[in-house]
Amino acid sequence: MNLLAIMISGFGLMNDRPVCAVWVLLFSPLVATVLITLFAQRWKGLSASLSIAAVLLSFAISLGLFIALAFHGLQHLPHSFQWLVVGNVRIEFGMVTDPLAILMSLVVTGVGSAIHIYSLGYMKGDAGFSRYFACMSLFTFSMLGIVIASNFIQIFIFWELVGLSSYLLIGFWFEKPSAAEAGKKAFLVTRIGDFGMMLGILLLWSYTGTFNFRDLQARLPMMISHETLALPTLALIGALIFCGAVGKSAQVPLHVWLPDAMEGPTPVSALIHAATMVAAGVYMLCRVFFLIAPSAGALTLIAWIGGITALMAAIIAIAQNDIKRILAYSTLSQLGYMVMAVGLGGPTQAMFHLTMHAFFKALLFLAAGSVIIGLHHEQDIWKMGGLWKKMPITFWTFLIASLALAGVPPLSGFYSKDEILVLAFENNKCLFAMGVGAAVLTAFYIGREVFVVFCGKPRDQHAYEHAHESPLVMTLPLIFLAILSIIGGWGSRVPEFLSPSHLAEQHSPVLSAGLIAMPVVGFALAWILYWKPEPSDAPVKSALGTTYVWIQNKFYFDEVYLWIVKYVQGTIANVCEWFDRWILQRLGIGGLSQGTGLLGRTVRLLQTGSISGYAFFFGLGVTVIIYYVVVR
Amino acid sequence: MITLNYYLWVSGILFALGIAGVVLRRNALVIFMALEMNLNAANLALVAFAKYNKLAGAQVFVFFVIAIAAAEVAVGLAIIVAFFRRKQTVSVDQVSSLRL
């Protein structure tokens, strides 16, 4: 009831003072973080309530904004204040409330609310319960900051804050070395992309003199037509800013951190590493699409990176054995679709798929978390099997999400994936083929996961007997997300909301039939290979031969990076160490100290201890001074 | 006619003698007397300037020098006495305990 009161007060605030409401939307999770960290650490229930209340308040305000925008034609709320003025650099702190931002904040807070509530059940009894909720609220705050940011500096600050909260949550169980390592890896790998993004932002600023999105959008066409900003430069800027998205959205070649990020608690994987944070890169690309759109080179690069990621991750996913890792590679693959859509000139389609993906992928992770809790932290799919009888709600919601992921009509994933593939078909046949391949593989690997985990005979009898359905606090969010996964795509309302001129694609019946056939083919393959009492990977292994080893080892990306770090970075480190030890320490610092000592010992010879000597030098000195002052 | 230069020469010779005494002698008391001679050489020069250039300020300056010399004697003799009590000698060659 209290939660209802919070949501109603959020609505009220929304109607009275929309600008104020947006600031509350942004800052209420931060307030929760601060309160939990400073005062409520000791009372677990209070910490959780604070965090959940904050995210629900944000959700209510987002919903209010959405309704205002969709039905009452809310005007833009251009609100910003001067934050920093350094010389002629002006940095503002402002907000954007266009359909793109509202949709994204609705996804973040909506899916976030479900996951916060689910966490109550999942994290029950954990020693770091309060810390967990503080970090979750910090994440919500940072993510909302990216969403409503009105300029590049603001987006970059929150971008890094999101990286920080992701680090804190991946390494939540920091006493486990693999979790601590995974957190560090995620932080460092995304930093590489962020560095490129920072360069891009600064380069853009050096040409245009502004960070503000609206000013940029207004100035850019004129600058291009007057050739004050050459197209190759703009392409470089676009590519550099895209680097940030490559890191955050885990595209090839910086995708290696995301699978490892599964070391975090499962709700974290659902919220951060599936539904929202990894989508931040795609959101940012859509936000600055006006920058990228004029240069065909940048668009092509983005489309190909996305396409390669989509296909490669889908291939890797068929040979993984960890229930969460399969989903992680699936996330990579779907993010690849979104990035590809942006590269093909369809930010609307990308955001559509982002929204739908947030629903069904969060659901997949939460259901997987329910399985993991039900089996007492067992994550190997080969030790599961036959769970559908023991965990009916988890099974059915997982199945719905899987079908949505595979793109089975009329579930949400069908509509969004369909639009992206049609876009690819019209623009680039090669990318279209890759997208179709990835779509078939998607249905195959998710079919494999469903059949191996929930069907067949239980392989670990002991674990099976102790398996139990999760409590209501966990299954309710599952049902909520399952409903969204089913109805989310109906009538293409989301793309219409984003751009009113968007029309549902009219395409040939052959193409439609083909798009419907893809998931069917994938599921049929999975059915043939894994729908049996004792499924195994053996047929796939023998069919693929050595390729399978490559796939199982994720194409050796990690090994190559390790090799590079070990030899290239190791050599540079050795050279630097030699320079530091012999040149800086011995010659520089050592030389300076020894020179000073030598000088001191020399000058000490003057101190004879004989007063007459001192008096003589004193007299001599005075004479010299007088000579210079008087005579010269 | 005795001009200013004669006075200055006498003053200079007195000062040089004083310096020579400070530098060459070993006995602290004698060095002290030589120092007083330096001060008086300066006094002589000042008085001579006062007489020839009609400067009252120079004579005032001399009084300051005498006052300072008196204070110096008080402090300096006390140091010498303390030093003698410690070392049973007033030779400045013995004052080298601060040397490394």
Structure confidence by residue, pLDDT tens digits, A174-211: 999 999 999 999 999 999 999 999 999 999 999 888 88
Residue A248 has pLDDT above 90, yes or no: yes
Residues of chain B neighbouring A604 (CB-CB closer than 8 A): 100
The shortest C-alpha distance from A188 to chain B (Å) reads: 57
Residue of chain B whose alpha carbon sits nearest to that of A615:
B23
Q: Give pLDDT tens digits for B27-79.
A: 889 999 999 999 999 999 999 999 898 888 889 999 999 999 999 999 999 99
- Note the helical H segments in A17-72: 18-35, 44-71
Find the residue in B nearest to A619 (Cα). Answer: B19
Give me the residues paired with residue A95 across strands.
A79
Residues composing chain B: 100
Question: How many CB pairs below 8 A link A and B?
Answer: 29
User: Which of B8, B15, B17, B22 is most worth mutating to test chain A (most A CB atoms within 10 A of its CB)?
Assistant: B22
Whose CA is closest to A442, among A414, A422, A423? A414
Least confident window among A225-229, A581-585, A591-595: A225-229
Q: Closest chain B residue to A613 measured between Cα atoms?
A: B23
**Per-residue model confidence as pLDDT tens digits over A276-331:** 899 999 999 999 999 998 888 999 999 999 999 999 999 999 999 999 999 999 99
Of A76 and A430, the one with more pLDDT: A430
User: Each residue of B10-33: pLDDT tens digit?
Assistant: 999 999 999 899 888 888 899 999
Nearest CA to CA, how far is B24 from chain A (Å)? 6
Query: Is residue A566 over pLDDT 70?
Result: yes
CA-nearest residue to B21 within chain A is A612
pLDDT at position B71? 93
Question: B95 at the A interface (CB within 8 A)?
Answer: yes
Contact state of A612 with B26 under an 8 Å Cβ cutoff: yes
Mean pLDDT over residues A400-415, rounded? 89
**Distance in Å, alpha carbon of A622 to nearest chain B alpha carbon:** 12
Q: Where are the alpha helices (DSSP H) in A171-230?
A: 177-208, 213-225
- Write the residue in B23, B25, B99 that is nearest to A616 by C-beta: B23
- pLDDT, position A74: 67
Q: Which chain A residue lies closest to B91 (C-alpha atoms)?
A: A611
Q: Do B31 and A607 touch (CB under 8 A)?
A: no
Indicate the average pLDDT of chain A.
88
> What distances in angstroms separate CA A314 from CA A446, A514, A530, B57, one per listed residue?
10, 19, 18, 103
Token pair of A544, please? 């693929």
> At residue B98, does pLDDT exceed 80?
no
- What pLDDT is stored for residue A503 in this prediction? 63
Q: Is B31 on the interface with A (CB under 8 A)?
A: yes
> Do the chains contact at B96 and A609, CB–CB below 8 Å?
yes
Query: Which of B15, B23, B92 is best to mutate for the A interface (most A CBs within 10 A)?
Result: B23
* Over residues A201-225, mean pLDDT: 89
pLDDT of residue A3: 67
As a whole number, mean pLDDT of residues A64-72 equals 82
Quote the minimal CA–CA distance from A606 to chain B in Å. Answer: 11
Asked whether the beta carbons of residue A612 and residue B22 sit closer than 8 angstroms, the reply is yes
- Per-residue buried b or exposed e for A502-529, using 16+ beta carbons within 10 Å of the residue's own CB: beebeeeeebeeebeebbeebbbbbeeb
Q: Do B99 and A609 touch (CB under 8 A)?
A: yes
Residue A464 has pLDDT above 90, yes or no: no
Shortest CA gap B98–chain A (Å): 8
Q: What residues of chain B lie within 8 A of the CB of A607, using their CB?
A: 99-100
Interface test with B, best of A601, A608, A612 (most B CBs within 10 A): A612
Helix, coil or strand: residue A17: coil
> Quick one: pLDDT at residue A342?
94
pTM: 0.80
Cβ separation B98–A609 shorter than 8 A:
yes
**Which chain B residues contact residue A609 at CB under 8 A?**
95-96, 98-99
Q: Residue range A472-500: average pLDDT? A: 84
The residue in chain A having the minimum alpha-carbon distance to the alpha carbon of residue B28 is A611
Check residue A554 and report its DSSP letter: G
Answer whether A224's CB lies under 8 Å from A294's CB.
yes
Residues of A in contact with B17 (CB under 8 A): none
Q: Which residues of A touch B26 (CB under 8 A)?
A: 612
Alpha-carbon distance of A627 to A619, in angstroms, equals 12
Q: Within 10 Å of residue A450's Cβ, how many Cβ atoms?
A: 22
Residue of A nearest to B95 (CA): A609
Of B19, B31, B93, the CB nearest to A610: B93
B100 touches chain A (CB under 8 A): yes
For residue B50, the SS3 value is helix
Residue of B23, B98, B100 with shortest CB distance to A612: B23
CB of B80 within 8 Å of a chain A CB? The answer is no
- What pLDDT was estimated at residue A1? 47
| pLDDT at residue A551 tops 80 | yes
Question: Which residues of chain B make contact with A608, given a CB cutoff of 8 A?
Answer: 99
Burial pattern A286-304, b for ≥16 Cβ within 10 A else e, equals bbbbebbbbbeebbebbbb
pLDDT at residue A78 in the model? 66
Residue A271 DSSP label: I
* Nearest Cβ partner for B24 among A604, A609, A612: A612
Res. B97: pLDDT tops 80: no
**What per-residue confidence (pLDDT) applies to A467?**
83
User: pLDDT tens digit string along A321-379?
Assistant: 999 999 999 999 999 999 999 999 889 999 999 999 999 999 999 999 999 988 888 88
Tokens 């419907």: give the residue: A516
How are beta strands A79-86 and A89-95 bridged, if at all? Answer: antiparallel
If 0-12 CB within 10 Å is exposed, 13-18 middle and 19+ buried, where does residue A321 land? middle
Which residue among B23, B26, B98 sits closest to A619, beta carbon to beta carbon? Answer: B23
Give residues 5 to 24 of B whose Cβ lies within 8 Å of A: 19, 22-24
**Residue A506 pLDDT grade (very low, low, confident, very high; cuts 50, 70, 90):** low
Instruction: Please give the average per-residue pLDDT across A35-47, as a whole number.
Output: 90
The reply to whether residue B23 touches residue A615, judged by beta carbons under 8 angstroms, is: yes
Say how far residue A155 (Cα) sits from the centre of its chain: 13
Q: What is the mean pLDDT of residues A493-499?
A: 78
pLDDT at A14: 67
